[in-house]
Structure 1
Amino acid sequence: MTLLKFVDNASGKSIGAFSWYATHGTSMSRDNKLISGDNKGAAARFFEDWFTSIESNSSRSVPTPSNISKLIKKVRSIKATGGKPCDSSTSRSFKARKSDGSQFVGAFCQSNVGDVSPNVLGAFCTDSGKPCDLNHSSCHGDVTLCKGRGPGYPDDILSTKIIGERQFNKAVDLFMSATKELTGKVDYRHVYQNFSEMEVELSGKTKVRTCPAALGPGFAAGTTDGPGMFGFQQGDTEINELWKKVRDLLKEPSQLQVECQKPKAVLLSSGEMFEPYAWTPEILPIQILRLGKLIILSVPGELTTMAGRRLREAVKETLVSNGGGEFDDETHVVIAGLTNTYSQYVATFEEYEQQRYEAASTLYGPHTLSAYIQEFNHLALAMAKGRSALQPADWSPPDLSLKVLRLLADPFPDSLPGGKKFGDIKQDVSEPKGGSFKKGDRPSATFWSANARNDLLTEGTFAVVEMLQGQRWIPVYDDDDFCLYFKWKLDNSSLYTSLATIEWEVPEEASSGVYRLRHFGSSKKAQHSPIEYFTGASSAFTVS
């Protein structure tokens, strides 16, 4: 992991930290139906909360009331509020963390993540529990049975927390021990390059070309983080006649494409498909950023571990050899993966020969990595020599903003059963045995709601846990917290009636006291009517 710490020069206060570490955001499996920032989002949340707590020398907890039995009696008189109107910005004021511009930013950036899985226990067959076939990541020839296991298996959320915590803990170590101040130039080079049919010069002056984009059968096989289907396996270099006919209905690859992509068999010749517009990008942005002796390579794809290593080493060698002493062994190169656009994976030439998932998803043929190394070396040389990067004429990405197909329909108008208001309680929090919830319990409430896509409440929240402090209800957790779950669904009785359930897994650090659950949402009476906002809260309950 590489961490860059940001310090305000005037005050000397830390204002943020960016870290780069390669691991896929696939701790949450495809069975998860909740929106999540996965392990990177978890790490960022843990880091920012940790920094806030040490800066304020406090935690989010409050003094514990001494008499829980009195509180239990008190909460029985605090009923659900019923649905009430509010405005579009109300939910923002109920965030547990205020967005006032002063918040510390902890960013966990992606790197050469291509073949790095967070499911570190390995891949196992779901029918037998035995390890999958190593060469094809399948079980008895079936990839759908081969699935990776995270450290919290079988709990995806626990796995996400653990992998997030591991990144968070390492980031804290680096943050607290960071002493090397970056000095020197701030610089960049950026160009667009056409990676389809690019001439590439290899060592020994041999010249080769990249190919129009294509995906192979190993792509359709998926990975142990997300298995594919239809009988494909990783490592396949042939396609049966049935799938060739299906492929050819979309686009039969040219013979030039077939030869260029070998040993990949062309399952989808996306680089030769242009209706209603190009299926994959040809013109890609590549970029080098310089902060003193920290060099950041912005790559529009997912490089494998070894591909990333080769790219970093090549760029560093070019900088050191041509920089006239500005760059040396202390120059540190990191890869920022999946940046500026997305063009699938980048495998090494040797990995490409094996045609596993990453290689089958390497769009521009066996020399894709060599093309990246060549073009990044051109940028590095320009930076080292203080020259401008040469931008090929007329090479800029097409503007597709007026052509992009929108297949997701607008939400239907919202409706309610007679006598109900948006934000009313359908199922209130149930009082537990003993009258008080314990750490690890899950109080929940279900509200009459509306389609959450009416307004995504950006910078706001759909769900809040409020705590009674004195005479005021104070937000203490919102839907940015791992312990709070917001679940939306349509009511079984109607296609237009929505239900929203809020579940709170009471965390260990939660203080004893009086709480309630609050929901925010937005509704539309008709397709083109204005959006109306609402809120509602459950009855109160105690935590001890």
Structure 2
Amino acid sequence: MCEHTKQATTSSSNNFLENSFSRRSFFRGMAAVTGTVVWASAGAPGAGAQEDSGSGTGGFKVGRGLADMTGEPWGAGMFGYAVDEQKTVGIQRRQYARAFIFVDANREDSRFVHVTCDVGLMFQSIHLEVLRRLKDKYGDLYTQENVVLAATHTHVAPGGTSQHLMVDITHGGFRPKTFEATVEGIVTAVERAHEDIQPSDVTVAESAVADAGVNRSKTSWDRNPEEDKKALPNGVDTRSVTLHVSRGGKQVGLINWYSLHPTSFGAEYKHIAGDNKGYAAWATEEAHGVVHRHPEDAPFVAAFANMCPGDITPNMGLTPNSGPGADERESAKILGERMMKATDDLGKDWSAGGIDGRFRWVDCPKLVASPRFTPDKKEHKLGPAILGAAFAGSSQEDGGGVPLLGFNEGERGGNPWVRDLNKFLAPQEVKDIHGPKECLLPMGYIDGMIQQVHPFTIHRLGTFVLVTLGFEPTITSGLRIKRTVAAALEVSENTIVVQGYTNAYGHYITTPEEYEAQNYEGGATIFGQYQLPAFQDVFDELARALKEGKPVEVGEPAGDLTGLIPKVPGSDNWMDAPPAGKKFGEVLEAPTEVKSGSNARVVFVGANPNNDMRHGEGYVTIEDLNGEVVGDDSSENTLITFENSFGQTRTTIDWNTQDVPPGQYTVRLKGDWKAFLGKLTPFEGTAELQIT
């Protein structure tokens, strides 16, 4: 193990105190994008500064909305790593939903809604409930055919929000409060975007991100044809695409797409955080004057969405927590800033052509891959979902899973005993469909365990094309989907973005060649070795229908199981009680003086934070003598930790005072305590600190 890796893997959630965010240095770096920006208006060629063209000369109206969607900060199983011990204990940064509504300026009913969410995965349960609530308020204006909800895929967010047991079982069951927080946050962001709709200019730029991710399954990627490998040198897709929104020549929002796993924070981290993409969004918004305690007033919305990062890890040393920073928090910051830097190019106008799209529910096990897209030019069936032993081994470059079970990825020797068992027990039809997969978990044969009917969409905004699906494609899988759609639409490949983690979740997509290696991604490609070619057939058909202006048969989901999955035992707080002789909000520990640059720690008598997630305002503020807030729940220099035992809660606020000028400051905690099976009562506590 290299020395850098040794240092990184011993980091803890509090090591951020040694690598604090410097607000002054960050704003200096962002100076180029914080002011008024003008560029080419509709029809003007190229990027760069141009005369101010005024507002709304392009073909779109756009609305933007930002909303808090933070789930339960205490005791909730976290997404991604499937580690039972990884349950929330507090907040490093709140979760946000970032919504954009695009309206054809010539057709008010022609709309497209894009929401990027600081969550681990997006599920059909969330998608359908959001649609129900939007229909109640807006009728048929926003539907399954024009609303896409995307997860950034942070692995340090509360879970328990799926309607399928395979996912919820790793979080102990269904968590109604986190589900409600997620849905409510998304709907609120869309509502704010709807109220914000006005004439806007839209430009699109393509650039490259340097040193932000490496291929974690290079031996799998190496199996691909040279044509694919030449397009993705070193097994990384450095392509970054940014859609900018401006009004009157001033930049007011952006959506960026880049392929990178948000796994900078490892399976031991237990504070809610947005990881590298969450940092990039938050920091960009802060630089543009957003106060995250008041998302309803956000002057700028910055969404950092994912593309196809299935085999791309941020852990540059190919072991968990291995950089590029000294610890997890610094790594997320460094990678976030590298993604932010790629958004500087303001691009050119692509709005001509209006808005259109095609959507379909697809019963994936019934698909047959045509010879058009299979490497051997033969027809191949898909089948019910089966997860392989390599899936149970987890991505060993990012961590997680249950190492004690002894499952391995293919490049680490695989799982011979599972392979031998398959030889005797697996029917020939399963062997034909799943090929070299060491079949372990036949989830598709048990009703309600895993989603098998999935939404596939293509949307066109002017000449920009967004392809979305609820899977995690590897970069080469994404490349082939992009090429398929480009050929069907007869457009350039650089006009197309393929976005995973959208409206559903169906695990991974590998190329058939990558699948043969049976690393983690191949073991999690659930419908068979030729899943990607079958999906290419689906997107080819949708793209041709879009090009020719023909309708498609939409289909329907396979039923809604929301609320049927058992709730997590003990997920509802019965009551709160302060220690004997104490009251809620009372200070238990606080320093009298703190030397500037060191950590200030204050401990309060708190209450279970799940009583009220306090969307918007949050739990904590730190104020100077003038009442100006210099820190809150989402600040880079704060960390909130809850310790709850038998109804008693200690709330600890860690504040890194680097770059904080000397003076007197007030640390303020707000919360709500619960009487026995009764009402909530708000409380507040303050601690005065002297920074010297």
TM-score, normalisation: structure 2: 0.61
Partner of 1:463: 620
Aligned position for 1:169:
341
Measure how far apart 1:241 and its partner are. 6.7
Q: Which residue of 1 aligns with 2:685?
A: 536
> What does the per-residue CA deviation read over 1:98-149, in whole Å, with 9 as the maximum and x for residues that have no partner?
33334200000011010010111333xxxxxxxxxxxxxxxxxxxxxxx351
Counterpart secondary structure, 2:683? strand
Structure 1 residues not aligned, in runs of 5+:
54-94, 124-146, 321-327
**Quick check: 1:260 aligned with 2:433?**
yes
User: What is the one-letter code of the residue matched to 2:335?
Assistant: I
- Is the deviation greater in 512-521 or in 476-485? 512-521
**Higher RCO (C-alpha 8 Å, min separation 6):** 1
Q: Is the 8 A contact 2:664 2:688 kept in 1?
A: no
For 1:242 and 1:525, the matched residues in 2 are separated by: 55
Residue by residue, what CA displacement relative to the aligned partner does 1:294-343 show, whole Å, maximum 9, x if unpaired? Answer: 111111111001111111011011101xxxxxxx4376100121000011
| Match 1:311 to one of 450, 464, 481 | 481
Shift of 1:420: 1.4
1:482 aligned to which of 615, 620, 636: 636
Q: How many Å apart are 1:476 and its aligned residue?
A: 2.2
Residue 238 of structure 1 deviates from its aligned partner by 4.4
Q: Is the 8 A contact 1:197 1:211 kept in 2?
A: yes
Take 2:246 and 2:437, find their aligned partners in 1: how far apart are those partners? 48
Whether the aligned pair in 2 keeps the contact of 1:114 and 1:302 (CA below 8 Å) is yes
Contact 2:665 2:691 in 1 (8 A): yes
List per-residue Cα deviations over 1:483-514 (Å, max 9, x = no partner). Answer: 11000013xxx522110000111243x44432
Equivalent position amino acid for 1:285 in 2 = P
Report the Cα distance in structure 1 between the residues aligned to 2:399 and 2:340, rounded to whole angstroms: 25
Are positions 1:271 and 2:444 aligned together? yes
SS at match of 2:564: coil
1:308-457 aligned at under 5 Å gives the runs: 308-320=478-490, 328-329=491-492, 332-392=495-555, 395-409=556-570, 410-432=572-594, 437-439=595-597, 441-457=598-614
For residues 74-113 of structure 1, the aligned pairs below 5 Å read 97-113=293-309
2:245 alignment partner in structure 1: 6
Contact map agreement 2:389 2:438 (CA 8 A) in 1 = yes
Residues of 2 paired with 1:389 and 1:101: CA distance? 40
Q: Report the CA distance between 1:239 and its aligned residue.
A: 5.0
Question: Quick one: structure 1 residues 503 and 237, their matched pair in 2 at CA, closer, same or farther if it must change by over 3 Å?
Answer: closer
Letter in 2 for 1:240: W
Q: How many Å apart are 1:200 and its aligned residue?
A: 1.9
Report the equivalent of 1:129.
Answer: none
Counterpart for residue 406 of structure 2: 231
Match of 1:46 in 2: 283
Distance 1:30 1:179, change over 3 A: same
Distance in 2 (CA, whole Å) between partners of 1:289 and 1:184 is: 12
For 1:145-184, list aligned pairs within 5 A: 147=320, 149-153=322-326, 155-171=327-343, 173-174=344-345, 177-184=346-353
Deviates further, 376-385 or 423-432: 423-432
List per-residue Cα deviations over 1:442-468 (Å, max 9, x = no partner): 111000011111111122212211111
- Aligned-pair distance for 1:22? 0.7
Per-residue deviation, residues 63-99 of structure 1 (Å, max 9, x unmatched): xxxxxxxxxxxxxxxxxxxxxxxxxxxxxxxx76533
Task: Supply the AA of the counterpart residue of 1:306.
Answer: T
Going from structure 1 to structure 2, the CA distance change for 1:452 and 1:300 (only over 3 Å counts) comes to same
How far off is 1:205 after superposition? 6.7
What is the CA–CA distance in structure 1 between the aligned matches of 2:278 and 2:506, rounded to whole Å?
Answer: 23
Question: How many angstroms does 1:15 deviate by?
Answer: 1.9
Amino acid at match of 1:117: T
Q: Distance in 1 between matches of 2:279 and 2:377?
A: 47
Q: Alpha carbons of 1:438 and 1:296: their partners in 2 closer, same or farther (altered >3 Å)?
A: same
Cα distance in 1 between the residues matched to 2:437 and 2:496 = 31
Change (3 A) 1:96 1:180: closer
Partner of 1:87: none
Deviations 1:258-288 (A, max 9, x none): 44212101110010112xxx21111000111
Change (3 A) 1:345 1:241: closer
Which residue pairs with 2:453 in the alignment?
A: 283
Which position in structure 1 is the counterpart of 2:465?
295
**Structure whose CA Rg is larger:** 1
Amino acid of the structure 2 residue aligned with 1:234: E
Could you say what secondary structure the match of 1:448 adopts? Answer: strand
**Overall identity of the aligned pairs, in %:** 29
Q: How many angstroms apart in 2 are the aligned matches of 1:331 and 1:166?
A: 21
The amino acid of 2:663's aligned partner reads G
**Secondary structure of the corresponding residue to residue 440 of structure 2:** coil
Residue 182 of structure 1, CA deviation: 2.6
Residue 365 of structure 1 and its aligned partner are, at CA, apart by 0.5
SS in 2 for 1:400: coil
Give SS of 1:468's match: coil
Determine helix, strand or coil for the equivalent of 2:271: coil
Contact 1:237 1:263 in 2 (8 A): no
- C-alpha distance 36-452 of structure 1, shift in aligned 2 (>3 A): same
**Secondary structure in 1 matching 2:533:** helix
Q: Aligned to 2:342, what secondary structure does the other structure show?
A: helix
| Secondary structure at 1:359 match in 2 | helix
**SS at 2:467 equivalent:** strand
Distance 2:391 2:493 in 1: 39
Letter in 1 for 2:407: F
Q: Structure 1 258/530 Cα, relative in aligned 2: closer, same or farther at 3 Å?
A: farther
| Cα offset, 1:419, TM superposition | 2.5
1:198–1:329 distance in 2 versus 1, CA, 3 Å: closer
Q: SS of the residue aligned with 2:514?
A: helix
Q: Are 1:37 and 2:274 counterparts?
A: yes
| Partner secondary structure for residue 260 of structure 2 | coil
SS state of the match for residue 100, structure 1?
helix
Change (3 A) 1:347 1:389: same
Length-normalised TM-score, structure 1 = 0.77
Determine if the alignment matches structure 1 residue 500 to structure 2 residue 651: yes
